Structure 1
Amino acid sequence: MSDDFAARKDRAANWFRSLRDDIVTAFEALEDRFGGDRAGRFEVTPTTRESGGGGLMSVMRGGQVFEKVGVNVSTVHGTLGERAQKAMAARGVPGMADDPRFWASGISLVAHMQNPHTPAVHMNTRMFWTPHAWWFGGGADLNPCLEYPEDTAHFHATLQAACDAHAPDYYPRFKAWADDYFFVPHRGRARGVGGIFYDDLNTGDWEADFAFTQDVGRAFLPAFLPVTERRLGTPASDDDREAQLRHRGLYAEYNLVYDRGTKFGLETGHNADAVLMSLPPIAKWY
């Protein structure tokens, strides 16, 4: 496949950056509403990848709503190492040994909240290109330590609406994929209450697949903000905080042991702080 994707790459990278800007603005507005003069703000740090590309790491620590939240974007390129080439070949990407160039762009978000009744959340969307193939991937999943069924239902319904606008089988397929992907085998349980996850999305229609990926990104704030606002005033006990810290331990275990994005970022030499942004600020293990 020849590299006739220059304009499409630019469009995708610009979209992920604009989504990042919208989410950062919305999260700071939430801090303003509930934090007053102690409202948190993002610290923005440019990141670079030694072999090509970089991005922005935007992290807020110690906010009144968010204990730690990161919203990162990156656009990187270069040559995949032998280990990454083998991983791509195992996923069915042809020709990597002959021409292992790649380009990738995306947004990655993880939020750990102050109030234990407000769930942690993860979202990412991305585009990946090689001279031989292209695809989109991403999703979003909710991670409460104290589950409220109505919050889970709202989150899923919002993501389902985004999926249903594109194909009737997307939501059941991608929900099942999330249930499988975000399972923690060594604990025998799910990381949270799920959401959607998809990868290797290439229907042959780049515009359609990009439009779907955009709609997944657009659905994030309507899925998450109402849940957050609903729980911010709920009183939290010491036991609630203990449950939150233990659940964060589970989250950290998953991200360090199983998460594809963490492995890919570290193996391809991206900024380690940006890759490990997803880790919670405080957690507990027993």
Structure 2
Amino acid sequence: MTDDFDTKKAQASAWFRSLRDDIVAAFEGLEATQATGPFADQPAGKFEVSQTKRSSADGSDAGGGLMSVMRGGRVFEKVGVNVSTVYGTLGERAQKAMAARGVPGMADDPRFWAAGISLVAHMQNPQTPAVHMNTRMFWTPGAWWFGGGSDLNPCIERAEDTDFFHGVLKDYCDKHDATYYPRFKEWADEYFYVPHRNRARGVGGIFYDDLNTGDWDRDFAFTQDVGRAFLPAFMGVTEKWRDAPWTDADKEAQLVHRGLYAEYNLVYDRGTKFGLETGHDANAVLMSLPPVAKWT
């Protein structure tokens, strides 16, 4: 299975990097065209790019990626777009977690390979929602699968924005399977729920994991379209509200909502736990945290 998947691994890794490049270019373009508002007179935001490395217990090459972060822009207060391709041997905790999810062969051969893109954007204007997106491919000697999704996180909720964002995701899902959107929307509603606050993190989106229909090309094509759906879904909402005025009360609501976002990512998020447990660059793993947050 390893030899058969070398080409597929390279394809997936290259796609995530290509998607990263498209999103970075689109976000820098948004910054360059922001001509109104309290941050319009400052230089347009640019991404700072750095290499990341995964640490292995024995010091061997374990992969890495690119961390791209923009801070203090005209539109984005903080946004990160990370890609990585990592590999090696799963530690005991991660190995047990994979075995508990039904991944075959973990007890005998804990090797793994994973590639993906992860994005989180926190906005200057509280009228524009924060957003999260990631897609990934995971391989072990006994199994392979895709996962990911995107979800919108407004501090000021508007039904029309939620409907628009979800509508774009549904259109892209429906091209592949009419059952995907309702299934993956429900999964997102369950996954992005904060039990100790008895509320959702945002207004949802789609989430899926362990996707393996037995047809790698089909599942990869769907995962690519989940990535392609992101920019039209998010930019459509952002373009609508990025020039809207806001009040001190709006900013307060944004900072409190960021506290909820931080709680979820640190306590429940599967990707955060996996990244820290497998030795990936901690700054890249925790890139999702907001620059400023408040708790009441």
- Alignment TM-score, normalising by the size of structure 1: 0.99
What residue number does 2:263 align with? 253
Q: 1:83 aligns with which of 81, 93, 96?
A: 93
What residue number does 1:142 align with? 152
What residue number does 2:26 align with? 26
Distance in 2 between residues matched to 1:3 and 1:178, nearest whole Å: 34
What residue number does 1:15 align with? 15
1:3 Cα offset (Å)? 4.1
Q: 1:273 aligns with which of 274, 283, 296?
A: 283
What residue number does 2:243 align with? 233
What residue number does 1:131 align with? 141
Tell me the secondary structure at the aligned position of residue 121 of structure 2: strand
Contact kept, 8 Å, 1:3 with 1:131, in 2: the verdict is: no
1:226 Cα offset (Å)? 1.3
Distance in 1 between residues matched to 2:3 and 2:144, nearest whole Å: 10
Tell me the secondary structure at the aligned position of residue 4 of structure 1: helix
Tell me the secondary structure at the aligned position of residue 270 of structure 1: coil
Matched, 1:262 2:267: no
Matched, 1:68 2:78: yes
Q: Give unmatched runs, 5+ long, in structure 1.
A: none
Contact kept, 8 Å, 2:185 with 2:204, in 1: the verdict is: yes
Contact kept, 8 Å, 2:129 with 2:152, in 1: the verdict is: yes
Contact kept, 8 Å, 1:41 with 1:60, in 2: the verdict is: yes
Q: Which residues in structure 2 correspond to 1:39-118 (within 5 Å)?
A: 39-51=44-56, 52-118=62-128
Distance in 1 between residues matched to 2:214 and 2:77, nearest whole Å: 41
Distance in 2 between residues matched to 1:256 and 1:99, nearest whole Å: 29
Kindly, what percent of the aligned residue pairs are identical? 77
Distance in 2 between residues matched to 1:130 and 1:261, nearest whole Å: 17
What residue number does 1:201 align with? 211
Distance in 1 between residues matched to 2:159 and 2:190, nearest whole Å: 20
Distance in 2 between residues matched to 1:94 and 1:273, nearest whole Å: 31
Code of the residue aligned with 1:12 in structure 2: it is A
What residue number does 2:59 align with? none
What residue number does 2:177 align with? 167
Contact kept, 8 Å, 2:193 with 2:201, in 1: the verdict is: yes
Q: 1:166 to 1:36 in 2, by over 3 A?
A: farther
Contact kept, 8 Å, 2:80 with 2:287, in 1: the verdict is: yes
Residues 96-129 of structure 1: per-residue CA shift (max 9 Å, x gap):
1111000000000000000000000000000000
What residue number does 1:180 align with? 190
Code of the residue aligned with 1:15 in structure 2: it is W
Q: Give unmatched runs, 5+ long, in structure 2.
A: 35-39, 57-61
In the alignment of these two chains, the number of paired residues is 286
Q: CA RMSD in A?
A: 0.8
Contact kept, 8 Å, 2:42 with 2:74, in 1: the verdict is: no
Tell me the secondary structure at the aligned position of residue 23 of structure 1: helix
Contact kept, 8 Å, 1:116 with 1:240, in 2: the verdict is: yes
Matched, 1:189 2:189: no
1:4 Cα offset (Å)? 1.6
What residue number does 2:6 align with? 6
Distance in 1 between residues matched to 2:245 and 2:171, nearest whole Å: 32
What residue number does 1:212 align with? 222
Tell me the secondary structure at the aligned position of residue 38 of structure 1: coil
1:50 Cα offset (Å)? 1.9
Tell me the secondary structure at the aligned position of residue 165 of structure 2: helix
Distance in 2 between residues matched to 1:240 and 1:271, nearest whole Å: 34
Distance in 1 between residues matched to 2:282 and 2:263, nearest whole Å: 17
Point out 4+ residue stretches in structure 1 off by more than 3 angstroms.
none
Tell me the secondary structure at the aligned position of residue 186 of structure 1: helix
Tell me the secondary structure at the aligned position of residue 121 of structure 1: strand
Contact kept, 8 Å, 1:2 with 1:132, in 2: the verdict is: no
Tell me the secondary structure at the aligned position of residue 69 of structure 2: strand
Distance in 2 between residues matched to 1:188 and 1:127, nearest whole Å: 31
